[in-house]
Protein backbone atom coordinates (compact mmCIF):
# COMPACT_ATOMS: atom_id res chain seq x y z
CA UNK A 1 0.00 0.00 0.00
CA UNK A 2 1.34 3.42 -0.90
CA UNK A 3 1.95 5.90 1.90
CA UNK A 4 -0.40 8.92 1.80
CA UNK A 5 2.56 11.14 2.63
CA UNK A 6 5.49 11.06 0.22
CA UNK A 7 8.77 10.33 1.99
CA UNK A 8 10.98 12.77 0.13
CA UNK A 9 9.17 16.04 0.97
CA UNK A 10 8.76 14.92 4.61
CA UNK A 11 12.47 14.14 4.96
CA UNK A 12 13.47 17.41 3.33
CA UNK A 13 11.27 19.38 5.75
CA UNK A 14 12.55 17.33 8.69
CA UNK A 15 16.29 17.77 8.01
CA UNK A 16 15.92 21.40 6.99
CA UNK A 17 13.97 22.17 10.17
CA UNK A 18 16.62 20.47 12.32
CA UNK A 19 19.41 22.47 10.66
CA UNK A 20 17.49 25.74 11.07
CA UNK A 21 16.50 25.15 14.69
CA UNK A 22 20.03 24.05 15.50
CA UNK A 23 21.25 27.50 14.51
CA UNK A 24 18.64 29.21 16.70
CA UNK A 25 20.69 28.51 19.85
CA UNK A 26 23.68 30.27 18.30
CA UNK A 27 21.66 33.31 17.23
CA UNK A 28 19.81 33.57 20.56
CA UNK A 29 23.12 33.40 22.41
CA UNK A 30 24.51 36.28 20.35
CA UNK A 31 21.35 38.31 20.84
CA UNK A 32 20.60 37.70 24.49
CA UNK A 33 24.02 38.87 25.67
CA UNK A 34 23.14 42.43 24.64
CA UNK A 35 19.33 42.42 24.66
CA UNK A 36 18.66 40.32 27.75
CA UNK A 37 16.38 37.29 27.93
CA UNK A 38 12.85 38.68 27.59
CA UNK A 39 13.67 41.39 25.01
CA UNK A 40 15.45 38.74 22.92
CA UNK A 41 12.32 36.58 22.92
CA UNK A 42 10.07 39.59 22.29
CA UNK A 43 12.09 40.92 19.34
CA UNK A 44 12.35 37.41 17.89
CA UNK A 45 8.59 36.87 17.69
CA UNK A 46 7.94 40.45 16.58
CA UNK A 47 10.31 40.03 13.63
CA UNK A 48 8.69 36.69 12.81
CA UNK A 49 5.25 38.33 12.86
CA UNK A 50 6.38 41.10 10.52
CA UNK A 51 7.78 38.47 8.17
CA UNK A 52 4.75 36.15 8.23
CA UNK A 53 1.79 38.55 8.26
CA UNK A 54 2.36 40.00 4.76
CA UNK A 55 2.75 36.46 3.40
CA UNK A 56 -0.51 35.44 5.05
CA UNK A 57 -2.41 38.42 3.61
CA UNK A 58 -0.85 37.92 0.17
CA UNK A 59 -2.04 34.30 0.21
CA UNK A 60 -5.55 35.47 1.10
CA UNK A 61 -5.62 33.55 4.40
CA UNK A 62 -6.48 36.54 6.59
CA UNK A 63 -10.13 35.45 7.07
CA UNK A 64 -9.00 32.03 8.35
CA UNK A 65 -6.74 33.69 10.91
CA UNK A 66 -9.62 35.95 11.98
CA UNK A 67 -11.82 32.90 12.60
CA UNK A 68 -9.20 31.02 14.60
CA UNK A 69 -7.26 33.86 16.23
CA UNK A 70 -7.99 32.84 19.83
CA UNK A 71 -6.58 29.33 19.48
CA UNK A 72 -3.61 30.37 17.36
CA UNK A 73 -2.75 33.24 19.71
CA UNK A 74 -2.92 30.85 22.67
CA UNK A 75 -0.63 28.37 20.97
CA UNK A 76 1.76 31.27 20.40
CA UNK A 77 2.02 31.90 24.13
CA UNK A 78 2.56 28.22 24.85
CA UNK A 79 4.75 27.29 21.89
CA UNK A 80 6.77 30.48 21.42
CA UNK A 81 6.55 33.16 24.12
CA UNK A 82 7.31 31.00 27.16
CA UNK A 83 9.85 28.62 25.54
CA UNK A 84 11.77 31.40 23.75
CA UNK A 85 12.01 33.39 26.99
CA UNK A 86 13.17 30.29 28.87
CA UNK A 87 15.87 29.38 26.36
CA UNK A 88 17.05 33.00 26.06
CA UNK A 89 17.47 33.09 29.84
CA UNK A 90 19.20 29.71 29.89
CA UNK A 91 21.72 30.71 27.23
CA UNK A 92 23.05 33.40 29.54
CA UNK A 93 24.34 30.64 31.83
CA UNK A 94 24.85 27.42 29.84
CA UNK A 95 26.26 26.51 26.44
CA UNK A 96 24.28 26.16 23.23
CA UNK A 97 25.27 22.48 23.11
CA UNK A 98 23.88 21.72 26.57
CA UNK A 99 20.67 23.64 25.95
CA UNK A 100 20.10 21.82 22.66
CA UNK A 101 20.65 18.43 24.31
CA UNK A 102 18.05 19.32 26.94
CA UNK A 103 15.78 20.39 24.08
CA UNK A 104 15.91 16.78 22.87
CA UNK A 105 13.66 15.82 25.81
CA UNK A 106 10.62 17.36 24.07
CA UNK A 107 9.28 14.00 22.78
CA UNK A 108 9.83 12.56 26.25
CA UNK A 109 7.55 15.19 27.72
CA UNK A 110 5.26 14.65 24.74
CA UNK A 111 4.73 11.04 25.80
CA UNK A 112 3.91 12.16 29.35
CA UNK A 113 1.46 14.79 28.09
CA UNK A 114 -0.28 12.22 25.90
CA UNK A 115 -0.48 9.89 28.91
CA UNK A 116 -1.98 12.48 31.27
CA UNK A 117 -4.11 14.53 28.85
CA UNK A 118 -5.04 12.17 26.04
CA UNK A 119 -5.04 9.01 28.20
CA UNK A 120 -2.54 7.42 25.82
CA UNK A 121 -0.96 5.27 28.50
CA UNK A 122 2.43 3.81 27.56
CA UNK A 123 3.12 0.13 28.11
CA UNK A 124 6.13 -2.13 28.24
CA UNK A 125 9.12 -0.66 26.46
CA UNK A 126 7.57 2.80 26.31
CA UNK A 127 7.49 2.97 30.12
CA UNK A 128 11.09 1.76 30.16
CA UNK A 129 11.90 4.53 27.71
CA UNK A 130 10.41 7.17 30.01
CA UNK A 131 12.54 5.91 32.87
CA UNK A 132 15.71 5.79 30.75
CA UNK A 133 15.07 9.26 29.35
CA UNK A 134 14.58 10.86 32.73
CA UNK A 135 17.66 9.06 34.08
CA UNK A 136 19.64 10.70 31.27
CA UNK A 137 18.21 14.11 32.18
CA UNK A 138 19.00 13.54 35.86
CA UNK A 139 22.60 12.52 35.11
CA UNK A 140 23.13 15.53 32.87
CA UNK A 141 21.56 17.92 35.36
CA UNK A 142 23.54 16.39 38.25
CA UNK A 143 26.77 17.10 36.41
CA UNK A 144 25.92 20.51 34.97
CA UNK A 145 23.30 22.12 37.22
CA UNK A 146 24.05 23.97 40.43
CA UNK A 147 21.99 26.52 42.31
CA UNK A 148 25.06 27.99 43.97
CA UNK A 149 26.26 31.09 42.16
CA UNK A 150 29.92 31.35 41.22
CA UNK A 151 32.15 34.43 41.50
CA UNK A 152 30.45 36.01 38.50
CA UNK A 153 26.99 35.41 39.93
CA UNK A 154 26.07 32.66 37.43
CA UNK A 155 23.89 29.72 38.41
CA UNK A 156 23.24 26.90 35.96
CA UNK A 157 20.51 25.14 37.91
CA UNK A 158 17.77 27.61 37.03
CA UNK A 159 18.95 27.58 33.42
CA UNK A 160 18.52 23.80 33.19
CA UNK A 161 15.05 24.03 34.77
CA UNK A 162 14.12 26.80 32.31
CA UNK A 163 15.07 24.54 29.38
CA UNK A 164 12.97 21.70 30.76
CA UNK A 165 9.98 24.03 31.27
CA UNK A 166 10.33 25.13 27.64
CA UNK A 167 10.35 21.48 26.54
CA UNK A 168 7.17 20.79 28.52
CA UNK A 169 5.47 23.75 26.83
CA UNK A 170 6.52 22.47 23.39
CA UNK A 171 5.10 19.04 24.21
CA UNK A 172 1.74 20.39 25.37
CA UNK A 173 1.41 22.73 22.40
CA UNK A 174 2.12 19.95 19.88
CA UNK A 175 -0.82 17.87 21.14
CA UNK A 176 -3.00 20.96 21.39
CA UNK A 177 -2.19 21.89 17.79
CA UNK A 178 -3.07 18.46 16.47
CA UNK A 179 -6.28 18.29 18.48
CA UNK A 180 -7.68 21.80 18.01
CA UNK A 181 -5.95 23.24 14.92
CA UNK A 182 -5.90 20.21 12.65
CA UNK A 183 -6.69 21.12 9.05
CA UNK A 184 -5.65 24.74 9.45
CA UNK A 185 -3.01 25.86 6.90
CA UNK A 186 0.50 25.91 8.46
CA UNK A 187 0.96 29.58 7.50
CA UNK A 188 -2.18 30.54 9.43
CA UNK A 189 -1.07 28.65 12.54
CA UNK A 190 2.48 30.00 12.32
CA UNK A 191 1.37 33.62 11.82
CA UNK A 192 -1.30 33.53 14.52
CA UNK A 193 1.08 31.94 17.00
CA UNK A 194 3.76 34.59 16.45
CA UNK A 195 1.24 37.42 16.72
CA UNK A 196 -0.02 35.95 19.99
CA UNK A 197 3.52 35.57 21.31
CA UNK A 198 4.35 39.15 20.29
CA UNK A 199 1.37 40.51 22.23
CA UNK A 200 2.23 38.35 25.22
CA UNK A 201 5.84 39.53 25.33
CA UNK A 202 5.28 43.17 24.35
CA UNK A 203 5.06 44.65 27.86
CA UNK A 204 7.99 42.68 29.38
CA UNK A 205 10.11 43.55 26.34
CA UNK A 206 9.44 47.27 26.73
CA UNK A 207 9.95 47.26 30.50
CA UNK A 208 13.23 45.36 30.29
CA UNK A 209 14.61 47.00 27.14
CA UNK A 210 18.39 47.49 27.52
CA UNK A 211 19.52 51.00 28.39
CA UNK A 212 22.33 50.79 25.87
CA UNK A 213 21.30 50.13 22.29
CA UNK A 214 22.54 46.67 21.19
CA UNK A 215 25.11 46.51 18.40
CA UNK A 216 24.72 45.35 14.83
CA UNK A 217 25.79 41.75 15.58
CA UNK A 218 22.98 41.32 18.11
CA UNK A 219 20.43 42.87 15.75
CA UNK A 220 21.50 40.69 12.84
CA UNK A 221 21.35 37.61 15.09
CA UNK A 222 17.76 38.41 16.09
CA UNK A 223 16.85 39.15 12.49
CA UNK A 224 18.12 35.70 11.54
CA UNK A 225 16.41 33.95 14.45
CA UNK A 226 13.18 35.85 13.79
CA UNK A 227 12.89 35.31 10.04
CA UNK A 228 14.67 32.00 9.51
CA UNK A 229 14.48 30.14 12.83
CA UNK A 230 10.95 31.27 13.69
CA UNK A 231 9.03 32.46 10.63
CA UNK A 232 10.27 29.91 8.12
CA UNK A 233 10.84 27.18 10.72
CA UNK A 234 7.31 27.27 12.13
CA UNK A 235 5.78 26.97 8.69
CA UNK A 236 7.84 23.79 8.28
CA UNK A 237 7.01 22.61 11.79
CA UNK A 238 3.24 23.02 11.58
CA UNK A 239 3.34 21.45 8.13
CA UNK A 240 5.09 18.43 9.65
CA UNK A 241 2.47 18.17 12.40
CA UNK A 242 -0.28 18.33 9.80
CA UNK A 243 1.35 15.71 7.58
CA UNK A 244 2.87 13.19 9.98
CA UNK A 245 1.44 14.02 13.42
CA UNK A 246 2.91 15.56 16.60
CA UNK A 247 4.82 12.47 17.82
CA UNK A 248 6.96 12.11 14.71
CA UNK A 249 7.31 15.88 14.27
CA UNK A 250 8.69 16.28 17.79
CA UNK A 251 11.48 13.83 17.01
CA UNK A 252 13.17 16.59 15.03
CA UNK A 253 14.66 17.53 18.41
CA UNK A 254 16.81 14.38 18.19
CA UNK A 255 18.69 15.89 15.26
CA UNK A 256 18.76 19.53 16.40
CA UNK A 257 21.63 19.00 18.92
CA UNK A 258 23.87 17.66 16.15
CA UNK A 259 23.62 20.93 14.25
CA UNK A 260 23.66 23.07 17.42
CA UNK A 261 26.85 21.44 18.68
CA UNK A 262 28.53 21.89 15.30
CA UNK A 263 27.55 25.57 15.15
CA UNK A 264 28.60 26.18 18.76
CA UNK A 265 31.97 24.52 18.23
CA UNK A 266 32.69 26.36 14.99
CA UNK A 267 31.48 29.85 15.89
CA UNK A 268 31.55 30.06 19.72
CA UNK A 269 34.50 27.75 20.46
CA UNK A 270 32.33 25.71 22.84
CA UNK A 271 33.64 22.43 24.21
CA UNK A 272 31.40 19.37 24.25
CA UNK A 273 32.39 16.89 26.96
CA UNK A 274 32.15 13.12 26.63
CA UNK A 275 29.70 13.16 29.56
CA UNK A 276 27.34 15.45 27.65
CA UNK A 277 27.51 13.13 24.64
CA UNK A 278 26.83 10.07 26.82
CA UNK A 279 23.88 11.68 28.60
CA UNK A 280 22.54 12.98 25.30
CA UNK A 281 22.65 9.45 23.85
CA UNK A 282 20.79 8.10 26.91
CA UNK A 283 18.13 10.82 26.58
CA UNK A 284 17.65 10.19 22.86
CA UNK A 285 17.41 6.40 23.30
CA UNK A 286 14.94 6.73 26.16
CA UNK A 287 12.87 9.27 24.26
CA UNK A 288 12.77 7.09 21.15
CA UNK A 289 11.53 4.14 23.24
CA UNK A 290 8.93 6.25 25.05
CA UNK A 291 7.57 7.59 21.75
CA UNK A 292 7.34 4.08 20.32
CA UNK A 293 9.87 4.91 17.61
CA UNK A 294 12.44 2.36 18.77
CA UNK A 295 11.55 -1.21 19.62
CA UNK A 296 13.83 -3.70 21.27
CA UNK A 297 13.80 -7.21 19.88
CA UNK A 298 13.09 -9.99 22.29
pLDDT of residue 290: 66
- Whole domain around residue 185: which residue ranges? 7-290
The confidence score (pLDDT) of residue 12 equals 85
What gap in Å lies between CA 52 and CA 235, rounded to an integer? 9
Whether 298 is in a domain gets the answer: no
Q: Is residue 1 part of a domain?
A: no
CA separation for the pair 298, 293 (Å, rounded): 16
Check if the beta carbon of residue 30 is closer than 8 Å to that of residue 217. yes
Task: Please indicate, yes or no, if residue 46 is contained in any of the structural domains.
Answer: yes
| pLDDT at residue number 284 | 78
Calculate the average pLDDT of the chain: 86
Determine the Cα–Cα distance for residues 170 and 10; give it in Å rounded to an integer: 20
Range 133-149 burial, b when 16+ CB lie within 10 A, else e:
bbebbeebbeebbeeee
Residue 297 lies in a domain: no
- Give the integer Cα–Cα distance in Å for 54 and 249: 26
Q: What is the pTM of this model?
A: 0.84
Domains contained in the chain, number: 1
Q: What is the pLDDT of residue 32?
A: 96
Query: Given this model, what pLDDT does residue 6 score?
Result: 47
What are the backbone dihedrals phi and psi of residue 291, each rounded to the nearest 5 degrees, phi first? -85, 0
Q: Are 113 and 177 in contact (CB under 8 A)?
A: no
Q: Is residue 295 part of a domain?
A: no
Shortest CA distance to 287 belongs to which of 106, 21, 161? Answer: 106
Is residue 248 assigned to a domain? yes
pLDDT for 21: 93
CB of 201 closer than 8 Å to CB of 209? no
State the pLDDT at residue 5.
46
Residue 57 lies in a domain: yes
Backbone CA torsion sign across 264, 268, 274, 278: negative
pLDDT beneath 50, residues of the chain:
1-7
Specify if 81 maps to a domain. Answer: yes
Amino acid sequence: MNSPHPKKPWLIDFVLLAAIWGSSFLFMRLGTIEFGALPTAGVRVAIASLFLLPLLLWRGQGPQLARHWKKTFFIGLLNSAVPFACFSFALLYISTGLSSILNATVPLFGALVAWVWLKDRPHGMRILGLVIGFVGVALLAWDKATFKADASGLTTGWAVLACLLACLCYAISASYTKRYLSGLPPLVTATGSQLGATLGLALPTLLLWPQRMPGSTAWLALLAVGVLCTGVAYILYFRLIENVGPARSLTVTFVVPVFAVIYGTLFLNEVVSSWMVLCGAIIVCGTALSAGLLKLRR
